[in-house]
Chain A
Amino acid sequence: DAGVIQSPRHEVTEMGQEVTLRCKPISGHDYLFWYRQTMMRGLELLIYFNNNVPIDDSGMPEDRFSAKMPNASFSTLKIQPSEPRDSAVYFCASSGTGTYGYTFGSGTRLTVV
């Protein structure tokens, strides 16, 4: 089991550019979560999916953020256009229906300059 796989590990982009973060959950897990971690705000839930359907996107900061899960093995988080205040570590996590507690990926460190 390779765990939750996120790519890229690091992303540096210029303000105004589009950024796409990718996540492959653990096979068989039917919940997928996107979190953002910053020094000021800690760990914030952005959105989560169940069986590829978005359940709660109330944490998505604004329309510049969008997330998709086209199938059970892949999800993307897109920021367009990016701003310096989006700089953070973005984590993806997955969980199975019968289990509680997530398995986290290693995160993507996003820097917007």
Chain B
Amino acid sequence: AQSVTQLDSQVPVFEEAPVELRCNYSSSVSVYLFWYVQYPNQGLQLLLKYLSGSTLVKGINGFEAEFNKSQTSFHLRKPSVHISDTAEYFCAVSDVDTGRRALTFGSGTRLQVQP
């Protein structure tokens, strides 16, 4: 069974400051990793994904994430946030080996960007 832990339920940050949202996962098999963003009253939008290859993955809106297999982490970073980045962010995993396509999501981190 897989699980995803997002340790921070809320992250307040000032505009133009850097931010890191943490994600750790647990799985007995190889995984694909994803970050999604959810704006108020909207569905989830894919920010970026790690499938294979380079462990540093770049996504939309200036976000990037680094896959660290030894630490089973996939932290999301942005060097300078904007007010418009205020949203809920979800980390998710899916199996590589079993072919099961369902995603297991973390509990989410609410990013609050303050002026």
Contacts and interface: CB of A to CB of B under 8 A. Distances in A.
- Please indicate whether A and B come from the same complex rather than being unrelated chains: yes
Interface of A: 4, 31, 33, 42-43, 45, 48, 50, 55-56, 91, 93, 95, 100-107
Given A48-B102, A50-B101, A56-B102, A102 B46 contact: yes
Contacts of A50: 101
A61 B9 CA distance: 26
Contact of B32 (A31, A93, A100): A100
A100 B107 CA distance: 20
B43 A105 contact: yes
Contacts of A95: 101
A48 B101 contact: yes
Contacts of B44: 91, 93, 102, 104
Interface string B75-110: 000000000000000100010000011111111100
B43 A45 contact: no
Nearest to B101: A31
User: Taking each of A33, A45, A50, A104, which has the highest tally of chain B beta carbons within 10 Å of its own beta carbon?
Assistant: A104
13 contacts: A42-B107, A45-B102, A56-B100, A93-B43, A95-B101, A100-B32, A100-B94, A102-B44, A102-B103, A104-B45, A105-B43, A106-B41, A106-B43
Nearest to B48: A101
A101 B51 CA distance: 10
Contacts of B34: 100-101
B70 to A, nearest CB: 23
Nearest to B50: A100
Given A4-B43, A102-B46, 7 more contacts: A31-B101, A48-B102, A56-B100, A101-B34, A104-B45, A106-B42, A107-B43
